Amino acid sequence: MKITWCRQPGRRRHWQRGNAIIEASLLAPWMLFLFVGVLDLGFYTYAAIATENAARVAAQYSAAGTATAGDSAGACTHALQEALSLPGITGGMNCQSLPFIVTVIPVAGPDGTAASSASVTYQTIPMIPIPGLLTGRLTLTRTAEMKVKNN
């Protein structure tokens, strides 16, 4: 007759108790650090996309005709409408100081025709700084250039 030794499920040996809690406590700071980093990176990516869209809208407005080719005030209004979802941006801003600056200048396009260049600068709100990667604030500048339509 052969005797087999069976362990009851759920029972651990005396020296194995508490391992899970120690492992979880050692990994918790790293998991929190990773979560905060992903959250910050997602916010900065969203801010970069919104800034790019605001520059495109400002360039599209200023390229509508020769009268609007250098109209920074009108481009500011259109860019603000595009960037209202960003933190720190309100509808009544003047677009001449941080956190949101819009600059429109008439330029010559690559083929020598009249074009308009719109530059939008956005400074993010303070986030959680990650040493060596992100400083907590990021200043994004995006530029878009479009050919001016002849009216």
**pLDDT of the chain along its 151 residues, tens only?**
666 666 666 665 666 668 888 999 999 999 998 898 888 889 989 999 999 999 999 999 999 998 888 899 999 999 999 999 999 898 888 899 999 999 999 999 889 999 999 999 999 988 877 777 767 788 999 999 999 987 6
Token couple for 25: 């406590």
Look at strands 96-97 and 100-108 and give their pairing: antiparallel
Whole-model pTM: value is 0.79
Cβ(44)–Cβ(138) below 8 Å: yes
CA count, 13 A, side-chain hemisphere, 137 = 8
Find the helix or strand (DSSP H, E) in which 118 lies.
strand 114-123
Place of tokens 């303070």: 126
